[in-house]
Amino acid sequence: MKTFASLALACAATLVSIPASAQFAKPDDAIKYRQSALFVMQQNFSRVAAMAAGKAPFDAKVAAESAAVAEFTAKLPWAGFGEGTDKGRENRAKPEIWTDKAKFNEYADKMQVEMTKFSAAAKTGSLDNIKATMAGVGGSCKTCHDAFRKD
């Protein structure tokens, strides 16, 4: 029983840790993975940002769905920033991502916290609530880009 319990725990721990320690066949795959996740996230965020800025008609259902996708996809890119993925297909990642990992992770976590607030606001169906969270998300994107993205 004791062995079974520790085995079950070990399996559970492995399952939980898979995304963070995801292995890719080659660095290009990891780079493509993180770029894809960030692209899908950005498309969904900016769709709602356009509504908040009055550049697109407000559709509460589309906003809530888009924000939920943005919130979820915000969890994905980080697995694609493993060691040895600084070079490969064309990308704008600065080397500091790997030399200042603590700061990079802090910014990544901050962005996810802001995304959660944003998605929660979108679920209320109120454009004013959404607007109140835009700067938090946008600021967290910019802070990280300024420090860790080329150009």
**3-state SS class at 149:** strand
Q: Which is nearer to ligand ASC, 87 or 142 (CB)?
A: 142
Interface characters, 89-108, with ligand ASC (x: CB under 6 A): --------------------
Residues 6+ apart with CB under 8 A from 136: 114, 117, 118
Number of residues binding to ligand ASC, judged by CB under 6 A: 8
Q: Out of 36, 46, 112, 129, name the contact with ligand ASC by CB under 6 A.
A: 46
87 is an interface residue for ligand ASC by CB under 6 A: no
Residues 6+ apart with CB under 8 A from 29: none
Q: Out of 122, 130, 141, 148, name the contact with ligand ASC by CB under 6 A.
A: 141
One-letter identity of residue 106 = E
**3-state SS class at 115:** helix
Stretch touching ligand ASC by CB under 6 A, among 41-49, 53-61, 79-87, 108-116: 41-49
Of 36, 20, 44, 32, residue with least CA distance to 137: 44
The phi, psi pair for 41, rounded to 5°, reads: -60, -50
Q: Which is nearer to ligand ASC, 24 or 45 (CB)?
A: 45
Interface with ligand ASC (CB under 6 A): 42, 45-46, 49, 138, 141-142, 145
